[in-house]
Amino acid sequence: MKLAIGIDAGGTYTDAVLVDYTQGTVLATAKAFTTRHDLTVGIREALEAILASANDQIHLVSLSTTLATNAIVEGHGAPVCALLIGYDSSLYPPETLARDLGTQRYALIAGGHTMDGEESEALDLEAARLAILEHAPHVQAFAISGYFGTRNPTHELAVQELVAELTHLPSTCGHELTQQLDALRRATTVTLNARLIPLLHELVGLVQRSLDALGIEAPLMLVKGDGSLMQVEVAALRPIETILSGPAASVVGARHLCGAQSIVVADMGGTTTDIALIEDGQPVLSTQGAHVGGWRTMIEAVEIHTAGLGGDSHVRLTEGELTLGPQRAIPLCLLAEHYPEAGDALEALVRKPMADPAEIEFLLLQRRGSVDDLEHPPFGARLFDALEQGPLSMGALRKIMRYPGLYQRYLTRLEREGIVVRSGFTPTDAAHVLGRYRAWNRSASAHGANALARALGIEPEELCSRILEQTSVRIAQEVVQKLWVQDGNGSTDALPPPALTRLVSPNGNEKIHFRPVLGPMLVGIGAPAETYFPRAAELLGGRLEIPEHSGVANALGAIVGSIIMRVEALVLPQEQEQGYRIHLPNGSSHWDDLEQALAYGRSEAARIAREMAERAGAADVRIVLHERHSHAPVSDIYGGDVYVRSCIEARAIGRPRLKT
């Protein structure tokens, strides 16, 4: 039996799954808390749990990770320099470039090519040399982008060779990541990629050491944002391709578990719910490039609609109304499971006749980290001394701070930095009270429900029913939003909240009722799926499947995916009927005959794609070609139409090479 391990380091939980790789069947699963300050802590815990069931050697390990996505969203990354070849300084003022690139360190270097791939200006290698030497002491990687580098990459490659010769620092060229035009967005994409290289290198090193410590000697793969896989040696220089890795793995896992060809996948975790489409057996990809943290990249990734709604969404009272998320909180039932004294504090609180429902919240020290680098108020030392002893209730916090409202920004920063984490009432607690979920300490959930229900003047069971209903309604509304924007009527505009309320509402409107009918089947995955998705599907008027092992579909998707590399050959006619020019990632060439140009494009795109897939760790590679030929109608005098262009996409697909 050949065993493989899939790991998904999500925002709340790290999942691991042990798989019979030949049969694709799940042998063991495990969950651990994601330790964002050091992802390997949660990974190691999950691995140790499933390895107890391993009775043979591990032949493959694959990881999906939020590292790249979180780093971009949170503005983290290594210092880098962008080397821009052939960019006109008059078109890109310094403030525009610095903002769009995300770095103040860049250099404009003379050189470049035309749209046809012809050299427009000789490359100024001396200027490139000086720029590299100037910035190298202050950066950890270089990004290289030529204005028409996708039409002819020779200048990018020459500068990359110079970086290696002078510094030995890692670098990435724009043409390695995308073949699309739009020079500035391509420069932004490759600069973001460079920022991530040292971060991913560090993560891979830590994961590899964890595997070594557990005696696992197997190839290590990473999940790309389109759901395919690549070996870590390739990913080390292309980390931006792992953005949205986690949601992509979930989609691939859902497809594997249910086997349907066209479905809506909704993955509910602790923090978010991610919704995606699978059509004809393939995840629908973002045609405009993945959009993450305000950055529009040129990286193909699964088109994901993410809602700030999960099983651990923080439930609060705001002006007498229940609000749900988007902030996450550790469920009270889970907190009390690990810290019984927190359960005792909750029990004591609800015995008070006028208990403040805000006091059911706790702060928990997650890591000291950079605490000493922060500016602290006078009570800072006492606060951390108290946190070192265990969870700190809001009542105890007020005794230390006296005026918590004045220091809310300080507390918010501690949470944002991951130094402390908040615990409070969540939908997971509501599910425990109603007996819909029984993983942890139900009494703590009941105490929290009592405090909130008392403030609203209702029974705890009614409170919890409202929360579960509100959560299910929100899920249904987010599914409608996803399908409306991407699939429903071709619009890119989101539905306004009033329209969503009318389309998906448990009560409808007094005068006219709307009831949606969901076409594709809804596949619910994630640990909370059984609790919320049946009601959501009922509201949507659709079919639902919650497959076995849906709680670890993300980790399963990390191991059952294939390696897929795509290469495009673009054929364009030359002016005045002077033949045809074909553009490929390794350069451009001229051809007199169209059929010969097309034949060369097919064979060369297939060769490059195959080589890329094999470098990424693929075995038994097969090539799939897809061609698009464009003609434009003209007067019959000229023959009725004129040839415009051809795009030949070669897709190399293979399964990962296993340990021999």
Mean pLDDT, range 542-563, rounded to an integer: 91
Tell me which H or E stretch contains 107.
strand 106-109
Sign of CA dihedral 340, 346, 347, 348: positive
C-beta of residue 547 within 8 angstroms of C-beta of residue 244? no
The domains of the chain, with CATH numbers, are 66-243 (no CATH), 313-465 (no CATH), 562-656 (3.30.110)
Minimal CA–CA distance to 262: which of 487, 521, 544, 479? 521
Angle, in degrees to the nearest 10, between helices 394-401 and 380-387? 150
Burial 83-107 (b: 16+ CB within 10 A, else e): bbbbbeeeebeeeebeebbbbebbb
Predicted pLDDT of residue 510: 57
Interval 467-494: pLDDT, tens: 999 999 999 989 988 887 764 434 456 6
d(CA 416, CA 575): 57
C-beta of residue 268 within 8 angstroms of C-beta of residue 532? yes
Predicted pLDDT of residue 490: 40
How far does CA 354 lie from the centroid of its chain?
Answer: 44
Predicted pLDDT of residue 143: 93
Predicted pLDDT of residue 481: 86
Mean pLDDT, range 140-155, rounded to an integer: 90
Structure tokens at 256: 């594997």
Minimal CA–CA distance to 39: which of 310, 234, 222? 222
Q: Where are the beta strands (DSSP E) in 130-193?
A: 141-146, 171-173
Q: Is the pLDDT of residue 191 over 50?
A: yes
Residue 85: which pLDDT band, with cuts at 50, 70 and 90? Answer: very high
**Beta pairing partners, 563:** 654
| String of DSSP letters for 298-317 | S---B--EEES--TTEEEEE
Contacts of 149 (CB under 8 A, 6+ apart): 85, 113, 155, 156, 173, 174, 175, 186
Instruction: Tell me which amino acid residue 331 is.
Output: P
Angle, in degrees to the nearest 10, between helices 553-560 and 245-258? 90
Tell me which H or E stretch contains 486.
none
C-beta of residue 109 within 8 angstroms of C-beta of residue 83? yes
d(CA 44, CA 610): 34
Predicted pLDDT of residue 499: 66
Mean pLDDT, range 515-527, rounded to an integer: 88
C-beta of residue 281 within 8 angstroms of C-beta of residue 391? no
d(CA 395, CA 93): 53
Residue 177: which pLDDT band, with cuts at 50, 70 and 90? Answer: confident
Minimal CA–CA distance to 107: which of 64, 73, 139? 139
d(CA 195, CA 293): 15
More confident residue, 300 or 449: 449
d(CA 657, CA 115): 39
Give the SS3 label for residue 122: coil
More confident residue, 593 or 272: 593
State the average pLDDT for the chain. Answer: 86
Residue 102: which pLDDT band, with cuts at 50, 70 and 90? Answer: confident
Can you say whether residue 289 is alpha, beta or left, with left for phi > 0 and alpha for psi between -120 and 50 degrees? Answer: left
Give the SS3 label for residue 296: strand
Instruction: Tell me which amino acid residue 132 is.
Output: I
d(CA 556, CA 204): 20
d(CA 186, CA 182): 6
Residue 259: which pLDDT band, with cuts at 50, 70 and 90? Answer: confident
Minimal CA–CA distance to 42: which of 60, 67, 69, 15? 15
Taking the model in full, what pTM does it have?
0.81
Q: Is the pLDDT of residue 458 over 90?
A: yes
Predicted pLDDT of residue 284: 87
C-alpha to C-alpha distances, 387 to 41, 195, 208, 259, 405, nearest whole angstrom: 21, 34, 33, 48, 19
| String of DSSP letters for 533-570 | HHHHHHHHT--EE--TTGGGHHHHHHHH--EEEEEEEE
Residue 149: which pLDDT band, with cuts at 50, 70 and 90? Answer: confident
d(CA 183, CA 517): 43
Please compute, for residue 261, the number of CA atoms within 13 A of its CA located in the half-sphere on the CB side: 1
Q: Is the pLDDT of residue 288 over 50?
A: yes
C-beta of residue 256 within 8 angstroms of C-beta of residue 273? no
Predicted pLDDT of residue 358: 81
Tell me which H or E stretch contains 28.
strand 25-33
Q: Where are the beta strands (DSSP E) in 196-344?
A: 220-223, 229-231, 263-268, 273-279, 282-283, 291-292, 295-296, 305-307, 313-318, 321-328, 330-331
Interval 106-146: pLDDT, tens: 999 999 888 878 888 999 999 999 999 999 999 999 999 99
Predicted pLDDT of residue 135: 94
Tell me which H or E stretch contains 520.
none
Interval 334-361: pLDDT, tens: 999 989 999 999 988 888 776 678 889 9
Structure tokens at 81: 């320099």
Residue 291: which pLDDT band, with cuts at 50, 70 and 90? Answer: confident
Strands 273-279 and 263-268: antiparallel
Residue 214 burial (CB < 10 Å; 0-12/13-18/19+)?
middle
d(CA 81, CA 79): 7
Tell me which H or E stretch contains 184.
helix 183-213
Q: Is the pLDDT of residue 526 over 60?
A: yes
Residue 184: which pLDDT band, with cuts at 50, 70 and 90? Answer: confident
More confident residue, 376 or 466: 466
C-beta of residue 390 within 8 angstroms of C-beta of residue 363? no
